[in-house]
Amino acid sequence: MHTKAQFVRTMFAHIARSYDPMNRLMSLGCDQAWRRYAARQAALPQGGLALDVATGTADLALALTRGHPRARVVGVDFCPEMVELGRAKVAMAGENPRIHFVMGDALQLPFTDGCFDAVTSSFALRNVADIPQAFAEMSRVLKAGGRMVCLEIARPTLPLFRQFFHIYFYRLVPLLGRILAGQGEAYHYLPNSLTHFLSPEELKAVMERVGLSEVWYRRLMPGTVAVHVGFKEAEESHGRRRQALPQTPTCSQVKAANTAGGESW
Ligand SMILES: C[S@@+](CC[C@H](N)C(=O)[O-])C[C@H]1O[C@@H](n2cnc3c(N)ncnc32)[C@H](O)[C@@H]1O
């Protein structure tokens, strides 16, 4: 495994227990609203099937099922400690018949081509070793006519707010991480992962390069997060993508569903 992947997996294993409360705190209580907004952009059809890549503790997977009452979600992640907490949360919410977890790598998704109506990710791509490869994989497993939605932290552009954000994100967050979660190193990594991450415009360009069309993004919360949306062209015609999506595949089409612990829908 790539050294970055090993580092990331170990880090999330260490911070798994404090991950959700730290998210609420660092985002000043806004992160779940951002996920709800992202989930709505997936616009799943009745009974549709979504893939949430790097699902972690399943907050976006839950936002997807809550926002689309008849939809089902597969959450894939490579960190068992995060997924374990996600599983417990999903069970507590009574959503376990609709959310299924699969252990796997975002850079090599264990699914056949074109089997999901929507593919989503939140706060994940900064952590992958090869962003174009992650998008290529997400696009590969997306159905023609389906949507890709990506929620990520962004560097704000408003000059004054930018300075405030810098102090908050690069000074205060690592301090809070050390004091409250006892994980100074992990919460030092978090801001650094943004420093080397793509701008929303660059992210849009990567999505276009992997073949998505009409890619757009919206910045939320004075520009500190961005939601990107792209469409995978339906083969027949450009005009079809906003019409009803094709029938959802049966679970037998999701290759990994039978290989991950024998769970069924
Ligand atoms: C910051 S958390 C985001 C979790 C969740 N999506 C959310 O909104 O809270 C990042 C997650 O990405 C996962 N991850 C990072 N790189 C991955 C990869 N290459 N394959 C699968 N999961 C990955 C980590 O294990 C972790 O659970």
Output 55 or 177, whichever has higher pLDDT.
Answer: 55
Q: What is the pLDDT of residue 256?
A: 44
Question: In the chain, where are the structural domains located?
Answer: 3-155+198-234
Residue 248 has pLDDT above 90, yes or no: no
Q: What is the pLDDT of residue 232?
A: 97
Q: What is the pLDDT of residue 263?
A: 36
In this prediction, residue 260 has a pLDDT band, given cuts at 50, 70 and 90, of: very low
Question: What type of residue sits at position 32?
Answer: Q
Share of the chain above pLDDT 90, in %: 66
Nearest atom in ligand 1 to the alpha carbon of residue 107 is 19
In this prediction, residue 184 has a pLDDT band, given cuts at 50, 70 and 90, of: confident
Q: What is the pLDDT of residue 241?
A: 43
Average pLDDT (105-131) is 96
Q: For residue 55, how far is its CA from the centre of ligand 1 (angstroms)?
A: 6
Of 42, 55, 147, nearest to 105 (Cα)?
Answer: 55
Query: In the chain, what are the helix, strand and coil shares in percent, each to the nearest 5?
Result: 50, 20, 30
Q: What is the pLDDT of residue 107?
A: 97
- Cα dist. 259→13, 46, 137, 167, 264 in Å? 23, 26, 19, 45, 10
Question: What type of residue sits at position 116?
Answer: F
d(CA 16, CA 179) in angstroms, rounded, equals 16
d(CA 131, CA 204) in angstroms, rounded, equals 12
Tokens representing 68?
């689309």
In this prediction, residue 229 has a pLDDT band, given cuts at 50, 70 and 90, of: very high
Nearest atom in ligand 1 to the alpha carbon of residue 23 is 9
In this prediction, residue 1 has a pLDDT band, given cuts at 50, 70 and 90, of: low
Output 230 or 184, whichever has higher pLDDT.
Answer: 230
Q: C-alpha angle with apex 250: 146 to 133, nearest 5 degrees?
A: 45
Q: For residue 159, how far is its CA from the centre of ligand 1 (angstroms)?
A: 30
Average pLDDT (102-111) is 98
Q: What is the pLDDT of residue 187?
A: 76
Average pLDDT (81-108) is 97
CATH T-level fold of 3-155+198-234 = Rossmann fold (3.40.50)
Q: For residue 150, how far is its CA from the centre of ligand 1 (angstroms)?
A: 12
When the pLDDT of each residue in the chain is averaged and rounded to a whole number, the result is 87
The backbone torsions φ and ψ at residue 50, rounded to the nearest 5 degrees and listed phi first, read -115, 155
Q: For residue 200, how far is its CA from the centre of ligand 1 (angstroms)?
A: 19
Summarize pLDDT for 135-152 with one digit per residue, the tens.
999 999 999 999 999 999
Average pLDDT (89-118) is 97
Which residues have any ligand 1 atom within 6 Å of their CB? 5, 8-9, 12, 54-57, 59-60, 77-79, 82, 105-107, 122-124, 127-128
Residue nearest to atom 26 of ligand 1 (CA): 56
In this prediction, residue 236 has a pLDDT band, given cuts at 50, 70 and 90, of: low
Q: What is the pLDDT of residue 198?
A: 94
Lowest-pLDDT choice from 66-80, 189-203, 237-251: 237-251
Question: What type of residue sits at position 139?
Answer: S
CB 58 within 8 A of CB 208: no
